[in-house]
Amino acid sequence: MIIPKIIGGKIFSDSLARLTFILFLLFSIPVGFHHQLLEPGIDPAWKFFQVILTFMVIIPSLMTAFSLFATFETFGRSKGATGLFGWLKKLPWGDARFIVPFIGMLSFIPAGAGGIINASHQMNQVVHNTIWVTGHFHLTVATAVVLTFFGISYWLVPHLTGRTLTKAMNKLAIVQGVFWAIGMTFMSGAMHAAGLLGAPRRSAYSEYGGAAQAAEWIPYQIAQAVGGSILFLGIILMLYIFINLAFLAPKGEEDFPVGEAADKREKAPMVLENWKLWLGIAVLLILFAYTIPFIDMIQNAPVGSKGYKLW
């Protein structure tokens, strides 16, 4: 909804965008057990059900990618772009409101691949409860999501405070986004690599595998520290930009970008506007995916030495 307006283009398909959002709503919420594929006490049938829903998330993810890049290409062609990838040159690479979320979009490619590994029962056994999982979250939430939040803040903060995004702050915002991307590349990359070597997810490395094993992880710890230092600089820059846009930037008006459909004759099917239907289905899926397994775990909880349920 936002990025097409920022680049000066149109939403490729209004119906596709709405359908994608609904699919995310249905598939991505009731899947919490996909982080517990190797945990005891959860019936394998429920794990399998949530794995199916998790893999279904791939579909709206690819739909989102298709819709966005179709929007980018359509915009580029409208500006006279030719050739297979000529439209890339027409995108506003100097606009922090675009490029910062765009970097986040790109980071979701390896993040999604890692998510497929995490959700695959056999491959998950290699990385389960290793720092690979933490690295995965640093790609999905701390890179894709956070960079999107940063990009939104560069127009939302001045919009709310009645100020403008100046050229100086725009350039600094791009630098901040690049710092964040580099820092997360070091940190998340090192976490993924160390996880493949068996580095644990939560506890001190030295407690596992002996001195030789811990020494093998040291280079990756150093890489994480380097990434964290770069990220700290990114945080300082973000705070400076926020304070400037909230209190110091020149007074003015910053638009709240809401995209328009490329084809205004296209009418989204009314079923995609029926929130009672989709929220109702989402609630039913949540109850089905969690309530019965939780009741099963409570009823079959192990009994302690004095006859008390360990729950």
Torsion of CA 141, 146, 148, 151, to 10 degrees: -170
3-state class (DSSP) for residue 234: helix
Tell me how many degrees the CA angle 110-97-1 measures, rounded to the nearest 5. 80
Tell me the mean pLDDT in the region 151-168: 96
Q: How confident is the model at residue 264, as a pLDDT?
A: 78
Give the SS3 label for residue 197.
coil
99: nearest Cα among 111, 88, 87: 88
- Residues 199 and 278: their CA atoms lie apart, in Å, by 41
Token pair recorded at residue 166: 């100046």
pLDDT one-digit tens code per residue, 228-269: 999 999 999 999 999 999 999 999 999 999 989 888 777 888
| Averaged pLDDT, 56-70 | 94
* Residue 211: per-residue pLDDT: 63
Distance CA 147, CA 158 (A): 17
Q: 183 vs 60, 72, 107, 138, CA distance in Å? A: 29, 27, 13, 10
**Cα–Cα distance for residue pair 94/90, rounded to 1 Å:** 11
Rounded to whole angstroms, the Cα distance separating 88 from 182 reads 22
Q: What angle do CA 186, 228, 143 make, to 5 degrees?
A: 65
Listed range (39-53, 70-84, 94-108) with the worst mean pLDDT = 39-53
pLDDT tens-digit map of 2-31: 999 999 999 999 999 999 999 999 998 888
Instruction: Say what the pTM is.
Output: 0.89
For residues 162 and 251, is the Cβ–Cβ distance under 8 A?
Answer: yes
Look up residue 209 and give its two tokens. Answer: 């595998």
DSSP assignment of 54-109, as one string? HHHTHHHHHHHHHHHHHHHHHHHHHTT--SSSGGGGGS-TT-HHHHHHHHHHHHHH
Residue 203 pLDDT: 66
3-state percent helix, strand, coil for the chain, nearest multiple of 5: 75, 5, 25
Over the stretch 184-222, which tens digit does the pLDDT of each residue have? 999 999 999 999 998 888 765 555 556 666 778 889 999
- Whole-angstrom Cα distance, residue 11 to residue 258? 10
pLDDT tens readout for residues 106-156: 999 999 999 999 998 889 999 998 999 999 999 999 999 999 999 999 999
